[in-house]
Amino acid sequence: MSEPDPITDLDELATAERWMKAGREVAIATVVETWGSAPRPAGSHLVIDEQGNLAGSVSGGCVEGAVVAEAMDVIETGKPRMLDFGVADETAWEVGLSCGGRIRVYVERLG
Q: Name the pTM for this structure.
A: 0.81
Range of the domain at 87: 6-110
- CA angle, 57 then 82 then 10, to 5°: 35
Structural domains in the chain (count): 1
Inside any domain, residue 48:
yes
d(CA 79, CA 10): 24
CA distances (Å), origin 96, targets 29, 53, 106, 108: 18, 22, 19, 23
pLDDT tens per residue, range 41-78: 899 999 999 999 999 999 877 788 999 999 999 999 99
d(CA 97, CA 74): 22
Tell me if 72 sits within 8 A of 48, measured CB to CB. yes
pLDDT of 91: 54
* Total Cβ atoms within 10 A of residue 45: 23
Inside any domain, residue 1:
no
Tell me if 37 sits within 8 A of 98, measured CB to CB. no
pLDDT tens per residue, range 4-40: 444 455 689 999 999 999 999 999 999 999 987 778 8
d(CA 78, CA 20): 15
Inside any domain, residue 29:
yes
